[in-house]
Amino acid sequence: QKEVEQDPGPLSVPEGAIVSLNCTYSNSAFQYFMWYRQYSRKGPELLMYTYSSGNKEDGRFTAQVDKSSKYISLFIRDSQPSDSATYLCAMGRGAQKLVFGQGTRLTINP
Amino acid sequence: GAVVSQHPSWVICKSGTSVKIECRSLDFQATTMFWYRQFPKQSLMLMATSNEGSKATYEQGVEKDKFLINHASLTLSTLTVTSAHPEDSSFYICSVPRGSQETQYFGPGTRLLVL
C-alpha cells in the first residue's frame, strides 16, 4: 500500500463547476498537508498549505484536512480553463521530507 | 516572481556523457535543497537531500556515484548525472524549503533526454 493515494484521473469538468480533488494516506504521523499545481513541463507551484486538521480558504480554493479519516481535499470554485493542470497532494511529518500523491490531471472545458 | 531557478531548462546528450544541472535559491539562503525526478504522468520521486557543507543524503535505490550532488553554497546546489543512459531521461526538479521548512518551493525543472 502506498503512503499516499490519489486518483490520477483524468478529470474533466465544464467551466464554472466546483471541482473536488482528494487524497488518502496511511501514516498518522503526517502533520503538514499541501496541494501543488503543476502545469505541463513546469515545476510544481504551491497552492495551499495546512497544518493538522481543519479548513483553509484562499480565493477560489479551499483545502480540508480530516486527520481522523486520513483524508484531505482541495475544492476549486468557479473553475476556469486556466485551472487545467495536474494537482499533487503532498504530506510531511517534519524534517522537511514530503511524500507526494500521484497527481490528478484536471481539464476545465470552456 | 520565481524564488528557485534551474539551469539548463532542457538538455539533450549522448549516452555515456555527464550532465550538470544547477539549482539556485534566488531570494534566501538554503542549507538544504531537495532533488526530485519525475517520469511522464507520474508523481515526484525524491532522489536525495542536498546539505550545504556536508554529504548529500540519498534515498533508497538511488546510486550516489551516478547522481553526484554538490551543495556549493547557501544558494546553489548541483546535480551531475554521470555516464548518462537513455533510462536516465526524465524531468529533474529541485526544491528549497521555506519559512517553517515544512513547505517547499520548486524550481521550473530540467528536462533531460539521453540519446
pLDDT for position B61: 93
Percent of chain A with pLDDT over 70: 97
| pLDDT, greater one: A100 or B102 | A100
pLDDT of A23 reads 97
Residues of B in contact with A36 (CB under 8 A): 106
Residues in chain A with CB shorter than 8 Å from the CB of B91 are 41
Does A44 touch chain B if contact means CB atoms closer than 8 Å?
yes
Q: What is the pLDDT of residue B70?
A: 93
- The answer, yes or no, to whether residue B105 has pLDDT greater than 70, is yes
Residue A77 touches partner B, C-beta closer than 8 Å: no
Q: Higher confidence at residue B75 or residue B103?
A: B75
B43: closest CA of chain A, how far (Å)? 5
> A46: which 3 cell numbers?
504551491
Quote the CA–CA distance of A80 and A73 in Å, as a whole number.
Answer: 19
Residues in chain B with CB shorter than 8 Å from the CB of A41 are 91, 109, 111
Size of the A and B interface in Cβ pairs below 8 Å = 54
Q: Taking residues B74-98, what's their average pLDDT?
A: 94
Rounded to a whole number of angstroms, the distance from the CA of B21 to the nearest CA of chain A is 15
- Closest chain B C-alpha to A1 CA, distance in angstroms: 16
Q: Name residues of chain A where pLDDT drops below 50.
A: none
What confidence tens digit (pLDDT) does each residue in B34-64 have? Answer: 999 999 888 899 999 999 988 999 999 999 9
Upstream peptide bond of A81 is cis (omega within 30 degrees of 0): no
Q: How many helices (H) and strands (E) does chain A have?
A: 0, 11
pLDDT computed for residue B1 by the predictor: 61
Predicted pLDDT of residue B47: 95
Residues of chain B neighbouring A56 (CB-CB closer than 8 A): none
**Is the model's pLDDT at B101 over the cut of 60?**
no
B44 CB neighbours in chain A (<8 A) are: 44, 88, 100
pLDDT at A2: 80
Question: Does any CB of chain B come closer than 8 Å to the CB of residue A34?
Answer: yes
